[in-house]
Amino acid sequence: MSTTRIGVFDSGVGGLTVLRELIRHVPNSEYLYFGDTARLPYGSKSVETIARYAVGASRFLQDRGVELLVVACNTATALALDCIVQSLEIPVIGVVEPGAEHAANASKSRSVIVIGTEATVLSHAYQRALASRGVTTREKACPLLVPLVEEGWTEHYVTEQVARIYLGEVFAEEIRSRSHSDVLVLGCTHYPLLKPLLKRIVPNDVAIVDSAESTAQVVAQKLGLAPEPHADATADVYCFVTDSVEKFRRLGPRFLGHPLNGVEHINLGG
């Protein structure tokens, strides 16, 4: 089987959770990862600025020969996917639609909770995607979880307490409205690292849907591969970042699951 060169774009390190799932589902490929670490967070920027940054990064990867682009950033997917698609000549897959499709298929109650950053929640991208599939959505922004994950506190009692507060609020709303959501969608690329912790918090009958895994399954199917993950999968990975290489090398393994070697600093300008 010939090697496929796949580009993965994110505003920082979080997209490495998507890359990790891509390697498991589409092994023996070559991956070019772009982390726009100098200009994060995207959530505080205007839609026009996010689109400009995202299109520039995506064209950078296309110019280096990627045959397919995965937009791993939830914010860029929610606010700039159409601009990216129109600007490139290769297939583009974002993380929202795969996550929404998986959640819709998993939900028996046709009601879903989505947690994410404030920008992703305010975009209502998951809400629209799920509504088009006949599923109602309750959204919750959890802004403190990203810095806690980047601090490496994925099993820290502080992180668990913060998560309990956020989810306690949303499940309390469920009780007041007499609704019952049976799926929790992780609408941020940092959140997969919190899955073990979140499983201890949510009710036993609530399934957790990871958009990173859902996206990797869609990419595998698009390339004609079985959607099941491969044990001990490997791939060639090259990373490009717009800020500190050393910081990326330090944080990256928490998200990817193994050390990062090939990391290059680039400057795209404005």
pLDDT tens, 114-148?
A: 999 998 999 999 999 999 999 999 999 999 999 99
- 96 vs 186: CA distance, rounded Å: 10
Residue 239 annotated as catalytic: no
| 200 and 117 together in one domain | yes
For 63-99, write each residue's pLDDT tens digit: 999 999 999 999 999 999 999 999 999 999 999 999 9
H helices of the chain, in order, are 16-25, 47-63, 74-87, 96-106, 118-123, 125-131, 145-150, 157-177, 195-201, 211-222, 245-256
| Domain count along the chain | 2
pLDDT at 1: 46
Q: Which domain holds residue 44?
A: 5-94+215-265
Structure tokens of 119?
Answer: 């920008």
Domain assignment present for residue 77? The answer is yes
Q: Which residues contact 119 (CB under 8 A, 6 or more apart)?
A: 41, 42, 43, 44, 75, 78, 79
Residues 199 and 219 in one domain: no
How do residues 19-53 score in pLDDT, each as one tens digit?
A: 999 999 999 899 999 999 999 888 888 999 999 99
Instruction: Assess whether 90 and 220 both reside in one domain.
Output: yes
245-250 long-range contacts, CB within 8 A, separation 24+: 247/37, 248/13, 248/35, 248/37
Out of 83, 142, 188, 239, which one is annotated catalytic?
188
Catalytic residue among 73, 83, 142, 239: 73
pLDDT in tens, 168-191: 999 999 888 888 999 999 999 999
Residue 21 lies in a domain: yes
The whole-model pTM stands at: 0.95
Residue 142 one-letter amino acid: C
For residue 202, give the CATH number of its domain.
3.40.50.1860
Do 178 and 101 belong together in one domain? yes
Q: Is a pLDDT exceeding 60 seen at residue 244?
A: yes
> Do 198 and 127 have their domain in common?
yes
Q: Please state, in angstroms and rounded to a whole number, the distance separating the CA atoms of residues 207 and 104.
A: 11
120 and 74 in a single domain? The answer is: no
Tell me if residue 250 falls in helix, strand or coil: helix
Q: Is 233 part of a structural domain of the chain?
A: yes
Query: For residues 27 and 4, is the Cβ–Cβ distance under 8 A?
Result: no
Asked if residue 270 is part of any domain, the answer here is no
